[in-house]
Structure formats: structure tokens, C-alpha cells
Amino acid sequence: MDNIYLIFVIILFVLAVSDLIVGVSNDAVNFLNSAVGAKAAPINIIMLVASLGILIGATFSSGMMEVARNGIFNPHMFSFAEIMVIFLAVMITDVILLDFFNNIGLPTSATVSIVFELLGASVAIALIKVNMDSGGFAHGIEEYINSAKALAIIGGIFLSVFISFFVGALVQYIARIIFTFQYRKNLKWAGSIFGGIAISAIIYFIIIKGMKGATYVPNYVMDYVKTHSALILGVLFVFWTLVLQILYILFKTNAPRVVVLIGTFALALAFAGNDLVNFIGVPLAGLASYQAWIISGVEASEYMMFVLNEPVQSGIYILLGAGGVMVVTLWTSSKAKRVIATTVDLSRQGEGSERFSSTALSRIMVRLSVNFNSILSKVIPQKIRNGIESRFQRPETPENPESPSFDMIRAAVNLSVASILIAMATSFKLPLSTTYVTFMVAMGTSLADRAWGRDSAVYRITGVFTVISGWFVTAFMAFFAAFLVGVFLYYTSIVGILIMILIAGFLVIRTHTAHKNAMALEKDDEVYENQEFIDSKGDYLNRSNNAVKLAIIKTSKIYYISLSGLINEDRKQLKNIRNEVKEYNNHIKELKNNLYQFMQKLNKLTPETGHHYVQVLDYMREMARILSFIVEPIYEHVSNNHKSLIDKQKEELKIMIELISEIFNQVLHMVKEMKYEEVSLIISDSEELIKKIDEYRKLHIKRIKKGEINTRNSILYLGILQESKSLLMFMINLIKAQRNFVIFKKEEK
């Protein structure tokens, strides 16, 4: 029996490594957002700075381990066997929960997950014990749950959302008033002071406050720090202000850039110090419980876990090992770009396509904000308003996709405020969510920086609400899932544990496989996009030609498969092509949404060639929409098991498929060769096919009068004929626009 519990401890650590990898992939890259978004340094330098912060921060996290041991429940009220059930329920649930959120694409937080899973599993076992002892749930539950500490932790996590947002907004507003968007002009007198304040605060709260959790800092050092805080802060401020001023005088060093790099290090350190408990706290508590139980010689169901109430210092090598896994994951994680992109997109200063659509709530909030701003404009004197507006005037430079998403001032504020908030929580042993704090600080600074303009505010607010709602969903699901798993494990014992471990293992493998497939599709999409719009020589003619070529290939394929699927009533085939049509429509829509930024890049295009390029995109968009109008009714018809087409209709559709495919092939060959002399011939063939489609329509009307077909059949068939005509006409317009683009482009040369 002893070996069974040893196996359970090993399983806890295996699950912890899985959690560590997945959690770091999703969360740790949040502290890279500001440095990457502001392009503070080459990406490898930023990663090295962050890695060093993680390794040092891991050694500061020992004190945080108490959260997993006794921060949520009172361990002395549970036996060793019950504690192991709680810990296994927590780790198994964590794996399943992460898998679930990864599959549905909702944001989550490792901190919130682990806290609410501990709460849910411990409440489940506590309720079972109370019921067994007293025959009801009337009393006793408060003796098992550390309710005061649990409420403080939960309150701290959710309060941090609002505090982070408002503190970030306030500090950024003040910083922008001081520096403006042309901040380099003010660096010579204010840059060193700004940097001195930011770096001093970061070092004090991260390095010094973080020492409370370190295993190697003597108590007398901490006592000195506690009694001389003001002196230490003053010395740090004077020292860093002088250093930054000297660096500016000698080398014109950008003080905010220094703050961003130090802030990246600091936030990485705070992340490791605060979040490491989420990944290894439970397994370490399980190991300590197992070691104490083995020494005791008492039955697992009778040995009460008083040992978890005692303070413990985790081994430095274990912490460094966990930090090493975090660093390796950080460098090798394929999810890093996606996680960075979410926050950067929602906080970027420039325009562009938005990841989220508007909602009624976001529209109401924007409307209220506009009305409130109108009221303020009437109260605040015009002179003061003009002065404030002048501090927020951005330099009128053309948008460049290679330029930073925001400047160094905002990046420095993001990192400074987030680092300080997380470090303060760590010093009080409150496990804030690094994801929550960094995200909400970034949103607050972007709001204060007026990155949320009238054209983007509704979408950005929707994005923020979507992320926040995902956090609350995480909390509720973590609690109830861990509760149910805990009850299941308690009553099914070893059999149930093995079943849940197998389920968790299956989900881990499935998630890994799904992620690999998603990355493969993403690479395909990148290749697809690169073929269309990335050309190292700046050959915009080839870009447009490739776009048309791929549009013809895609349209021909979708049209052929959809009509063939209807003829053969192949629902699976139609379902797949339906999904492909949706993806293709989204792709073309995104190209249209990014047209403004793309046209700014194409400074070699004259208004004439630019006009024809816009036409090319317009016709591509219309063709994509027509494909939806063809595929969707066909899929619904087959999926609903409506009557099949009659033989005459099938024969007509087969002829249409053959003729249209032949025209598409001719067009594709012409586009590949960039020889548009045969456009008139293709137009003639298309017009002949359109006449044939009109003949099919007349034949179908005769069949309707004879009563040979029903209503649904008629609606579907007539719709296919009409959309096929429209598809041909827009294809002709597309080729004409591309031909004109080529002609004018060659004339410019």
C-alpha cells in the first residue's frame, strides 16, 4: 500500500511538469509583451533578460508554497489519505481544465485555477466528512476550510483586476502629460528622474521585498530593510538618477529603454516568485505529506496532517530545477507569438484589424464615455483643455508595420506598475495572477494613452470583457470540476484515481496532438499569406498576381467540391468544404480590413495602380461571399435529408461543373503566365456559359409547372444557377481589374 501512495506522489510531479509547460506557454510570455511591443531590444536579448529573471525569481518563491499547504484549507482536519485525494483531484482537474480551455479558446489563469481547485476539492472532502460525522451539513464545514485566508486570496486576485487597470491608467496619464509622444525631447531633463523613480521602485519591491520568500537571506538583513525602507528608496533613487543622467550625457542613452529591460527582468522575476507555487506547490505539499506519513507508521486514513501547518523551506535545487523548466519552455514554446499578439493587439497605438467584434455593452460604454467627455469639456476651461490636448498630440508619421506597437514610455509604465503590484502581493504571500495584472495594466495604460479611439474603442472593450469573463468562468469551473473529481476519487478509491489519471493522460496527448495540428495549419496559413503579400524585392505586381492566382484555385476547388457533394449527397465532404469557405471568407475579409495599412506600405503604387488593386480585392471579396451563398444552402439541404436532385438536374450540374472548371483553368494559366491577351476569349466563353445557365433556368421553370420537383428543390437549384452566374461575372471583373493593374504597372516602369 505504501508503494501506491509513492506512485501517487510521482504522478503529482508528472502532472506538475505538464502544468508547468502548459502554464508557462500561456502565461509567462505576458511579461514579454511590453518589451516586444515597444521593440526595446532584439528578441534574443529580451529573452535572455527574462530567463535570468525567472531563474532568480524561482528562488524567491519558497514562502509562497504555504498557499498550497494551508492557505485554503486546514490540513490538520484531514488524514493523509484524504489529503492525497485532494491533491490528486486538484492536479488532475488542472490538466483537464487547461485542456478544455485550450480547445474552446477561452483565456485562463494558472493562479485562479489552482486556488479554486484547492477550494473545490477540499470543500468536497470536508462535506463528506461532516456528513459522515453528523448525518447532515448543518455545521462543521468552517473547521475544515481556512475561510479567512481563502477569501483574502480570492478577493486579492479579483481586486487586482480593477486596481491594476486604474493604477496603470493613472500612472500612464501622468507620464504622458510629462513626456508627450515626442518624449525624446524631454529625456535630457526628465528621463533620468523618470527612470530613477521606476527602477528604484522595481528594485525595492522585487529584489528586497522578494527576499522574504528566499531561503538564503538572514533575518537580520530583512529587519534592517524593514526599518530603513525610506533610506533605501532614497539611495536607490539618487543612484539610478545619477547613473541614467551620466549615461545620457555620455552616450545619449534612452532611459525608458533601460527601464523596459530592467522591468522585463523584474516582471519575469515576480512571475517566477509568484506563480511557481501554481505549478509545484501541490506536488511539494504531497511529497512532504508522504514523507511525514512514512515516518509516522500510522495508517493513512488515521494520520492527520498537522505537519502541513508547520513552515517549510523548499530546497533551492528543486526551485532552480522548476525555474529551469520554465526557462526552457519559454524559449521553445510555439504559443508565445499568439499570447503576445493578443495583448499587443488590444493595446497597440495604431489602427488595424481587430480581433473582437463589438457588443451592445461595449457600445453603451463608449457612448457613455463620449457623453461624459462632452460634459467635462463644458466644465474644464478651454485653455486647460488645449494644454492637455497638446501633450497627447502624436507626430504625424505614416504607419509602418515594422514600427513598435507603442512607445518606450508606455512599455516602461506597463512593466514598472505590473512588477510593483505583483511583488507587493508576493511579499504579503498573496498569489495574484500575473496574467491578470499584466493584462489589465496594459489595458489601463492603452486607455490613458488614447490608443482606444472612436474607431477602435468598442472592439478593444469587447476584447477586455471577453478576457475577463474567461477568468470568471475559470474560477467557477475550477471549483466545481475539482469538487466533482474529489467526490469521485473519494468514493472510487484507487480504481477511480486510475480512471481519472488515464482520462487526464489521454487529454494531455490529445491536446498536444491538436496543438501540433494547429501549428501545422498556422504554418500553412503563413505560407499562403506569404505567397500573396510578402515579397523581398517589393514586387507588388507579383503580389497581386499571386493573390488572384490563389483566389482562382480556391474558388474552383470549393465550387467543384460543393456541387459534387450535392450530387453525391456527401454530407462529410460538404461539412469540410463549408468550414473551408468560412476560413477563406475570414481571410479575404482580413485583407480588406488591412487595406488601409497595406496601401500605406505600397508607396511605389500610383493612385491609378492602387485603384486597380483595390478593385482586385473587392472582386475577390465578392467571389468569396458568393461561395458562401452556394455552399451553405447545399450543406443545409443535404444535412436536413431533403429530397435528392432528379437525374436531369444532376446532369445539368455536371455539365456546369465541367464548363466552369475549364474556364477557371484557362484563367489560372493566363494569370500564371501574366499574359492577358486572351481575356476577350475567356469573356466570350463565360458569356456562352451564362446563356446556358439561363437555358437551365427555363428548363427548371417548365419542370415546376409540370410538378416534377418540390419547393425546396426549386429554391436550392435556382439559387445555385443564379450564384453561378454571379460568380462568373465577378470572375470576369476580377481578371479585367488584374489586367489593368498589370498594364498600368508596366507603363510606370
Q: Are residues 589 and 646 in the same domain?
A: yes
Q: Which residues, in sequence order, are CB contacts of 15 under 8 Å at separation 6+?
A: 91, 92, 94, 95, 283, 504
Residue 574 lies in a domain: yes
For cell 545620457, name the residue: 248
One domain, residues 140 and 111:
yes
CATH number at residue 720: 1.20.58.220
For residue 594, give the DSSP letter.
Answer: T
> Angle at CA 256, nearest 5°, toward 253 and 260?
115
DSSP 311: -
**For residue 564, what pLDDT is reported?**
92
- The structural domain count of the chain equals 2
CA 21 to chain centre: 16
Distance CA 672, CA 668 (A): 6
Segment 708-714 mean pLDDT: 85
**Nearest residue to 283 via CA among 114, 56, 121:** 114
All cell numbers assigned to 475: 474560477
Residue 542 to residue 533: CA distance in whole angstroms? 9
Cα–Cα distance between 665 and 667 in angstroms, integer?
5
**Backbone torsion region of residue 142, taken as left when φ is above 0, otherwise alpha when ψ lies between -120 and 50, otherwise beta:** alpha
Altogether, the residues listed in the chain come to a count of: 749
Q: Round the average pLDDT of the chain to a whole number and report it.
A: 77
Task: Give the torsion through C-alpha atoms of 92, 97, 103, 104, to 10 deg.
Answer: 160
**3/10 Cα distance (integer angstroms):** 10
Do 127 and 232 reside in the same domain of the chain?
Answer: yes
- Residue 271 contacts residue 326 (beta carbons within 8 Å): no
Residue 158: C-alpha distances to residues 61, 112, 152 (Å): 21, 9, 10
Q: Which domain holds residue 516?
A: 2-391+415-522
pLDDT of 360 higher than 80 = no
- Within a domain: 398: no
Q: What percentage of residues in the chain have a pLDDT greater than 70?
A: 75
Residue ending a domain, among 480, 500, 522, is 522
Rg of the chain (C-alpha set): 31
**549 and 489 within one domain:** no
pLDDT at 633: 92
Q: What does the pLDDT average to over 602-607? A: 54
Are 670 and 552 contained in the same domain? yes
26 within a domain of the structure (yes/no) = yes
What's the Cα-to-Cα distance from 675 to each of 605, 613, 617, 670, 671, rounded to whole Å?
Answer: 21, 18, 20, 5, 7
What is each CA distance from 209 to 47, 162, 205, 315, in whole angstroms?
Answer: 24, 23, 5, 20
251, three cell numbers:
552616450
Comparing 172-181, 237-246, 551-560, 617-626, the range with the smallest average pLDDT is 172-181
What would the pLDDT profile of 508-544 be if each residue is shown by its tens digit? 676 666 656 555 544 444 444 444 443 433 455 666 7
pLDDT at residue 338 greater than cutoff 90: no
Please tell me the predicted confidence (pLDDT) of residue 537: 39
Q: Do residues 57 and 269 touch, judged by C-beta distance below 8 A?
A: yes
Please tell me the distance from the alpha carbon of residue 633 to that of residue 624, in angstroms, as a whole number: 15
Residue 508 bridge partners (DSSP): none
Residue of 210, 307, 203, 176 whose CA lies nearest to 265: 203
Contact yes or no for 281/86 (Cβ under 8 A): no
The answer to whether residue 403 is domain-embedded is no
Judge whether 486 lies within some domain: yes
If asked whether residues 542 and 500 sit together in one domain, one would say no
Q: Residue 19 and residue 16: Cα distance in Å, rounded?
A: 5
Q: 404, 41, 33, 35: which is closest to 253 by C-alpha?
A: 41
- The predicted structure's pLDDT at residue 128: 87
The residues, any chain, with a CB within 8 Å of residue 187's CB and separated by 6 or more, are: 248, 254, 255, 256
Contact by Cβ (8 Å): 164, 417? yes
In a domain, 397, yes or no: no
Name the residue among 462, 457, 420, 458 with its Cα closest to residue 438: 420
Query: What's residue 266's pLDDT?
Result: 80
Residue 100 makes CB contacts below 8 A (sequence gap 6+) with 477
Q: Is residue 404 part of a domain?
A: no
Do 427 and 573 lie in a common domain? no
Last residue of a domain, one of 522, 550, 567: 522
Range picked from 259-268, 720-729, 740-749 for highest mean pLDDT: 720-729
String of DSSP letters for 672-716: HHT--TTHHHHHHHHHHHHHHHHHHHHHHHHHHHHT-S-HHHHHH
**Residue 511 sits in the same domain as residue 660:** no
Kindly state whether residues 572 and 475 are assigned to the same domain. Answer: no
92-133 pLDDT, tens per residue? 888 788 767 656 655 567 777 888 888 889 889 888 888 876
| Mean predicted confidence (pLDDT) in 292-317 | 78
Q: Based on the fold, state whether residues 213 and 100 are members of the same structural domain.
A: yes
Single out the residue in 522, 547, 574 at which a domain terminates. 522
Secondary structure class of 314 (helix, strand, coil): coil
